[in-house]
Structure 1
Amino acid sequence: MIGPSSPGSITAAPVDPVGGRVRLLLLSLYTTQTLALMFFVAALIAILAEAGADMDRLTLVYMLGLVWPAKLLWAPLVDRVRFGPAGHYRVWAIVMQTVMVLVLAVMAGFDPMEDFDTVYALCLVLALASATQDVAVDGLACRLLPEGARGSGNALQISGGLLGTMAGAGGVLALYPHLGWAGAMAVLGVVTATSLVQLLAFREPGTAVAVIAPPPLCARLAGLRRPGVLGWTALLLVWPAGSGMAYALIMPALVAAGWSLERIGLAVNVAGPAAGILGALAAGRIAGRIGRRPALIAAALAQLAGIAVIAVPVLGLMPESGGGWLPAVAVCLYFLFYNPGATVMAMVMMDRTSTARPATDYSLQSTLHAAVGMGAISLGSAIAAAGGAGVTIQAAALAGMLALIGAGLLRHPAGERV
């Protein structure tokens, strides 16, 4: 059981003191930091491919997604550099949000095909600003959300990312034939600017925490030898493996079912994330009441259910009468069952941050977690190519079982600080 006062005991969640204005700000920031990036990583691929771009260009666009894992390299800088009464993480977020808005405004004057090199360079700047803004907002969230508010608070984080995916990779792409490139950049810029307006009106609470220079990464990892942290790190790394391998099978299964790319995009980039938002919000509400370890166990069971659901269309277990709509239901259920785990894991990551280095501590955990998830998708594809989709489902289920066992064995004092 879990609790800040006595490791191994569950304590009742305190009254949530976080106001609606702060929640709306966090939701807005987590949405707009992914909005334009997801448009470029997902929707721009379709735009360039339709215009006849070669594979080298498409590969470069995909590589924009590698910027975010690298944010760990400069996260300590975000923790160290402060701006006095103007705020610490608030100023970082204002600067990065402004950069994103300006980049989108400048990008509207170029053509993605004829001026690809310039557009790509601007995309890279936006990706760097987006990743840095994520570090700053994570640090701000760690400061603003007390333990009892982290369930619903991290549900907003997960929901914001999904909303950004839905709007950027789904909504703006759907409107692109009517908007054109300049119009799409204008929409992305205006929506991104709404978060900037909210930030300018927000005042970050001051703290009396001394600035402590973050030790080298190897020293941070050495801290994993502390009681309870080694088990948490193992869970952090194994958790995304099962769902990642299962996710690798979704696209091939939908293509094999004869779905068009437009229909696949609607299911994977719109309907699925919408279901994921419901799962995240429900998990955030429940987890704050039942405690971290019970919430992790419940989320691990839900993750196993998501893997089982994906097995239905992948292994051809659908009845003939449901072949047209059951794959879409399976995709939605996968997102619904996966995102409670993402929410609860984010809660515990936040519990494991220090007051002096929240951005660095959170970035270290989230980067390791995300790297395993991305690697698991590639691994799932490789296993399916070598041994078939059935073997991949078995491997995913095994990883999911390990996550469930790890959640049951975990002894995590929520009040411990790394």
Structure 2
Amino acid sequence: MSTAFTNFAARSANWTVLGLLAGLYAAQSVTGSMVQTALPVVLRDAGMPLDQIGYLAVLFLPWALKFLWAPFIDRFLTERTWILLCQLGIILCFLAAMALPPQTHMASLAIVLLVMGVFAATQDVATDSLAVRASDAETRGLASGASTAGAYLGFLIGGGLWLVVYQHAGWAVSMAAMAGFVCLLTVPVFLSGGLAGPRVKQAAAMQRIGLRRTMKNRALMTGLVFLVVYQVGIRMGSALTGPYLVDKGIALDTIGLLRGAGGALAGFVASSLGALVVQALGITRSIVLAAILNVLLLAALAAAEFAGSASPTFALVILLLQVGAVAVSFVALYAAMMNWCNPEQTATDFAALQSIDAILAISASAIAGMLGNAFGYGWLFAASAAFILAAIALASRTLGASARAARSFAIPEKVSEP
């Protein structure tokens, strides 16, 4: 393990890279978690109808559509410059939101949050690209682990801590606090020069950058087969955990604790351990191990539902364990996705993969709702486990072929960026 850390430090020029990636992913996830988890609570508490709260889903469009402008990150400027510009934009949006409490200025606030989402999604593209190019095949588990742990930390702050600040200090102070948090996480970016290798600047190579080239990436397209099957199972298994716990008679505050602070802490710890697992076992073995854990947990839930013995306590424990298993899964899978990216257009390739994953999440949630409504939770969990088992069966061929195809990529030697 010490050799892996030494190689990572040598590749990245200094030890700030792990903290940098964790901080950047925390900063961007603050925005998404606040809008997705915490803001609906505030709006409902203010008496807003549920159908109007549902319209908040449009604020996630930037994350689903970011692949459209990802080629610009590959073509122009450096990732560090893009990140700094986007961090500044997020901070300014939070400051602007101070004067727009949702109870009286919801329309204006929605516009500010949508702009903030564009900045956060663009920062995500640039950070993903930086993570890919600042690491290599041997150290991607560490980079992916730091990124995932940072995302869970941001979720804990944006989805949990923000509500506490809002409740005790009001809207304006809570927005200022979030601006200060993002500002604090911007400091490491100024210290991060020289983390990644050079961009390919030849005119011919720049003209080839785009989604058409992504479609010709054999490593990515082969790995995508596994990604689709596997993530459908994972997303289906997680889609209805909230309603499932409600139907088990568990109190809303307990569910909030589980899905908020408890889930974020479990994910943070599991993703940190997942980085070590990936470094020790390798990416493919780690993905399979995480997949097996998820199959066992989902199968246990399904069996308990079929037997009528799924007590509320049992459901809580299993689902909390699954949060950890999913976190380990994300670390290993994102490390594999990094390897599938062409070094000449890392932003474009990774953004395309994440956009596909977002579409899968939406589709799987819809399928889960229909399955659960028609056949019950037992069959839903069983179907989710079956998809993951199918992905395990595909792993040796798809992930192996992707790894072999990825070795053909020419990875440039690291030099400092301005």
Is the TM value for this pair above 0.5? yes
Q: Do residues 79 (structure 1) and 74 (structure 2) align?
A: yes
Give the structure with the higher percent helix: 2
For residues 199 and 59 of structure 2, the distance between their equivalents in structure 1, rounded to whole angstroms, comes to 37
Specify the SS of the correspondent of 2:343: coil
| Aligned partner of 1:220 among 211, 214, 222 | 214
Specify the SS of the correspondent of 1:242: helix
1:17-416 maps to which residues of 2 (within 5 A)? 17=9, 18=12, 19-82=14-77, 88-205=78-195, 207=198, 209-211=200-202, 212-221=206-215, 223=216, 226=218, 229-311=220-302, 318=309, 323=312, 325-410=313-398, 411=400, 412-413=403-404, 414-416=406-408
Q: Which moved more, 1:264-273 or 1:408-417?
A: 408-417
For residues 394 and 274 of structure 2, the distance between their equivalents in structure 1, rounded to whole angstroms, comes to 19
1:304 Cα deviation (Å)?
1.2
Residue identity in the other structure for 2:386: L
Specify the SS of the correspondent of 1:368: helix
For residues 13 and 202 of structure 1, the distance between their equivalents in structure 2, rounded to whole angstroms, comes to 18
Q: Which moved more, 1:233-242 or 1:52-61?
A: 52-61
1:353 Cα deviation (Å)?
1.3
1:398 Cα deviation (Å)?
1.1
For residues 199 and 370 of structure 1, the distance between their equivalents in structure 2, rounded to whole angstroms, comes to 27
1:175 Cα deviation (Å)?
3.4
Residue identity in the other structure for 1:129: F
The runs of 5 or more residues in structure 1 that have no matched partner are 1-11, 83-87
Per-residue CA distance 1:4-59 (angstroms, 9 max, x = gap): xxxxxxxx998332443111111000001111221122211011111111234312
1:60 Cα deviation (Å)?
2.1
For residues 200 and 124 of structure 1, the distance between their equivalents in structure 2, rounded to whole angstroms, comes to 26
* TM-aligned CA distance change 1:56 to 1:257, over 3 Å: closer
1:13–1:148: 8 Å Cα contact kept in structure 2? no
Q: Which moved more, 1:28-37 or 1:60-69?
A: 60-69
For residues 310 and 182 of structure 1, the distance between their equivalents in structure 2, rounded to whole angstroms, comes to 43
For residues 316 and 258 of structure 1, the distance between their equivalents in structure 2, rounded to whole angstroms, comes to 18
For residues 310 and 64 of structure 2, the distance between their equivalents in structure 1, rounded to whole angstroms, comes to 41
For residues 197 and 207 of structure 1, the distance between their equivalents in structure 2, rounded to whole angstroms, comes to 23
Residue identity in the other structure for 1:257: K
1:232 Cα deviation (Å)?
1.4
Residue identity in the other structure for 1:182: A
1:214–1:357: 8 Å Cα contact kept in structure 2? no
Specify the SS of the correspondent of 1:148: coil
1:399 Cα deviation (Å)?
0.4
For residues 306 and 194 of structure 1, the distance between their equivalents in structure 2, rounded to whole angstroms, comes to 38
1:319 Cα deviation (Å)?
6.7
For residues 258 and 175 of structure 1, the distance between their equivalents in structure 2, rounded to whole angstroms, comes to 29
1:191 Cα deviation (Å)?
0.6
* TM-aligned CA distance change 1:163 to 1:120, over 3 Å: same
The runs of 5 or more residues in structure 2 that have no matched partner are 411-418
* TM-aligned CA distance change 1:161 to 1:52, over 3 Å: same
Specify the SS of the correspondent of 2:81: helix
1:67 Cα deviation (Å)?
2.0
For residues 223 and 287 of structure 2, the distance between their equivalents in structure 1, rounded to whole angstroms, comes to 11
Per-residue CA distance 1:322-344 (angstroms, 9 max, x = gap): x3x33332221011111211111
For residues 347 and 145 of structure 1, the distance between their equivalents in structure 2, rounded to whole angstroms, comes to 10
For residues 319 and 370 of structure 1, the distance between their equivalents in structure 2, rounded to whole angstroms, comes to 30
For residues 286 and 304 of structure 2, the distance between their equivalents in structure 1, rounded to whole angstroms, comes to 29
Specify the SS of the correspondent of 1:258: coil
For residues 220 and 118 of structure 2, the distance between their equivalents in structure 1, rounded to whole angstroms, comes to 30
RMSD: 2.2
Q: Which moved more, 1:147-156 or 1:202-211?
A: 202-211
2:38–2:159: 8 Å Cα contact kept in structure 1? yes
1:13–1:289: 8 Å Cα contact kept in structure 2? no
1:195 Cα deviation (Å)?
1.9
* TM-aligned CA distance change 1:129 to 1:376, over 3 Å: same
TM normalised by structure 1 equals 0.88
Specify the SS of the correspondent of 2:170: helix
Percent of aligned positions that are identical? 25
* TM-aligned CA distance change 1:417 to 1:364, over 3 Å: farther
For residues 95 and 397 of structure 1, the distance between their equivalents in structure 2, rounded to whole angstroms, comes to 42
Q: Which residue of structure 2 lines up, in the alignment, with residue 7 of structure 1?
A: none
1:313 Cα deviation (Å)?
6.8
* TM-aligned CA distance change 1:258 to 1:109, over 3 Å: same
Residue identity in the other structure for 1:51: A
1:300 Cα deviation (Å)?
1.6
Specify the SS of the correspondent of 2:168: helix
2:214–2:220: 8 Å Cα contact kept in structure 1? no
Specify the SS of the correspondent of 2:200: coil
2:21–2:147: 8 Å Cα contact kept in structure 1? yes
* TM-aligned CA distance change 1:56 to 1:213, over 3 Å: farther
1:273 Cα deviation (Å)?
2.4
Q: Which residue of structure 2 lines up, in the alignment, with residue 5 of structure 1?
A: none
Residue identity in the other structure for 2:280: R
TM normalised by structure 2 equals 0.88
Per-residue CA distance 1:152-201 (angstroms, 9 max, x = gap): 11011111111111211122113321021112111111111112222123
* TM-aligned CA distance change 1:274 to 1:232, over 3 Å: same
Specify the SS of the correspondent of 1:202: coil
1:351–1:416: 8 Å Cα contact kept in structure 2? no
